[in-house]
């Protein structure tokens, strides 16, 4: 498992909000849904992303933007166009004066103000924050724009084709495509000199720490110790602990605990999961041991965490 895949192994899209927007000028939409992460891919035309706090960005064909919530922002044909619709949590739409409006649908998962709109935009929104995605969100800027000329991917046209289909299992197909597009964008972004890749991401290329991180990611239930990890990569315990802490930014056992609890937080949201089954999968000997560690670090019990996010 590589750094990005390991990072995203938890927050798999589950019934993500996906929409194809067909728009003719003038158009402007204010987004106040406070979703933790939204991915915007421009297929045709032009759009502007105008955050309440931060720099404005222009999107052209092939460009992809990732907007990190819960900040508010405007999507528009021009920065001067006033918002015509405001999107609230739950994708509730109102006019600027507060009147409820119904999205004008123009086919399966398609909305806009013109069937022949000159701007086509794909919107994919992760509406629930999983624990591992929180780790991702901490390292992303509020607005990330990857220019189309900076990368090549067939995923945008593929998602554009699939988003309008209503075949059996289509929701699962779209969720996976959204995940793939997000992974591809992040991989391309972190590879850029200005991508701001976090220390733990860069550490995956280290010949000593990289293999240790992959062992932790791939086998979280194994009873790792500093000595076992050091033996596995062929250096002394002290040298390993020092190198790991320097490159990753935290000691090996702290990182391991954080990873296990992050995985546990996501696994708890699976329909058939129990605290006992999750404890076994992430390396805790009993439900009590997991619950104690979870509450110590997260402030709530596993049951309280699941109830809060599932309710």
- Write out pLDDT tens, residues 28-58: 999 999 988 899 999 999 999 999 998 999 9
At residue 1 the predicted structure's pLDDT band, cuts being 50, 70 and 90, is very low
**pLDDT given at position 38:** 93
H/E stretch holding 39: strand 37-44
The pair of structure tokens assigned to 208 is 């000593």
Q: What's the CA gap between 198 and 150, in Å, rounded?
A: 20
Q: How confident is the model at residue 284 (pLDDT cuts 50, 70, 90)?
A: very high
Task: Flag the least confident range among 76-80, 260-264, 274-278.
Answer: 260-264
Nearest to 35 by CA among 47, 22, 57, 19: 19
**Count of all residues that appear for the chain in the document:** 311
Spell out the domains of the chain, with CATH numbers in brackets: 3-190 (2.60.120.280), 201-310 (1.10.10.60)
Find the mean pLDDT for residues 114-128. 90
Comparing 60-64, 109-113, 130-134, which segment has the lowest mean pLDDT? 130-134
Q: What is the pLDDT of residues 177-209, one digit of tens each?
A: 998 898 889 888 888 877 777 777 788 889 999
Per-residue pLDDT, 133: 63
Per-residue pLDDT for 130 more than 80?
no
């Amino acid at each position: 498992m590589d750094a990005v895949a390991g990072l995203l192994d938890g927050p798999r899209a589950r019934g993500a909000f996906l929409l194809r927007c067909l728009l003719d000028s003038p158009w402007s939409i204010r987004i106040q849904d406070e979703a933790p992460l939204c991915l915007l891919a421009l297929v045709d035309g032009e759009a502007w992303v105008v955050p309440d706090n931060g720099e404005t960005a222009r999107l052209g064909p092939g460009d992809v933007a990732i907007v990190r919530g819960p900040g508010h922002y405007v999507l528009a044909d021009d920065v001067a166009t006033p918002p015509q619709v405001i999107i609230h949590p739950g994708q509730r739409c109102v006019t600027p004066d507060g009147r409820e409006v119904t999205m004008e649908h123009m086919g399966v998962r398609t909305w806009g103000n013109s069937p022949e709109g000159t701007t086509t935009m794909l919107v994919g929104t992760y509406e629930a924050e999983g624990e591992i995605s929180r780790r991702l969100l901490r390292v992303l800027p509020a607005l990330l724009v990857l220019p189309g000329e900076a990368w090549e991917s067939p995923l945008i046209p593929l998602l554009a084709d699939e988003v309008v289909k209503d075949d059996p299992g289509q929701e699962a197909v779209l969720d996976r495509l959204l995940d793939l597009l997000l992974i591809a964008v992040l991989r391309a972004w972190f590879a850029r000199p200005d991508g701001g890749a976090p220390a733990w991401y860069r550490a995956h290329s280290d010949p000593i720490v990289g293999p240790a991180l992959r062992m932790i990611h791939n086998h979280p239930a194994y009873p790792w110790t500093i000595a076992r990890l050091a033996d596995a990569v062929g250096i002394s315990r002290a040298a390993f602990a020092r190198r790991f802490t320097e490159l990753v930014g935290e000691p090996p056992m702290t990182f391991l605990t954080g990873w296990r609890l992050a995985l546990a937080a996501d696994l708890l949201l699976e329909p058939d999961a129990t605290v006992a089954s999750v404890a076994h999968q992430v390396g805790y000997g009993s439900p009590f041991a997991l619950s104690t560690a979870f509450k110590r670090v997260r402030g709530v019990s596993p049951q309280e965490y699941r109830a809060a996010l599932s309710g």
